[in-house]
Amino acid sequence: MRANIGAAHNSIRVLGLDPALAGATGYGVVELEGTAARMLRFGALRFPSRADFSARLREIHQMVAELVEEFAPDAVAVESVFTALNMRTALKLAEVRGVILLAAAQADIPTRSYSPREVKASIAGYGGASKQQMQQMVKVQLGLCELPEPADAADALAVALCHAHAARVQVQISRGTKLNRTTAADGTRSLSRSHLPAARIPIHR
């Protein structure tokens, strides 16, 4: 695994995934170094309409395993199941997410799930942003020349960016907490020393 955002290079690489049941499963790999984000790869895995469900699961697992092996991400970020789906669809989509999480776990890569609203709020600043708005914001943040297509791939890039930004903020908070604790500890030690009784200097007569 690569050195994560807490390392000296202050960079993080994330594989984002937008799992789908009927449509394409989007994927995107981004790297955030400091405040600069760049795209390493994106795309979508699409199946024939009559493809067997077990075959879909197998192909998605293989795709994620290959992406993890090639890019060695610090984390895998996945869009969570949309709660408004009917029970049967939600359960099948959960199975798709399951094989994604399995592939990450087999490579010992930590995973994190984000709801669609969380991703939209992080990238577009608005939890109800449209797909077109999300594509535009992903294009801008990654410095792409064109809108990322298909929309499933753009969603996956957005999920990856969402986690990268969240991880950076968490590191900054952690560093600030450690600094405050160190400063407080140093102040306590100085205060303690200032209250020590003065050493007596013997007077020789």
For residue 104, give Cα distances in angstroms to 57, 58, 143, 158, 202: 14, 14, 28, 19, 70
User: Two tokens at 30?
Assistant: 């981004």
Strands, E assignment, 46-88? 75-79
Residue in the structure block whose two tokens are 């020789």: 204
Cβ-Cβ contacts under 8 Å for 103 (sequence gap 6 or more): 61, 64, 65, 68
End-to-end CA distance of the chain: 72
Place of tokens 């907490």: 177
What is d(CA 21, CA 111) in angstroms, rounded to the nearest whole number? 20
User: Annotated active-site positions, please?
Assistant: 18, 79, 152
- The rounded distance, in Å, linking the Cα atoms of 88 and 72 is 34
Nearest to 64 by CA among 120, 114, 109, 32: 109
Question: What DSSP element (H or E) covers 13?
Answer: strand 11-18
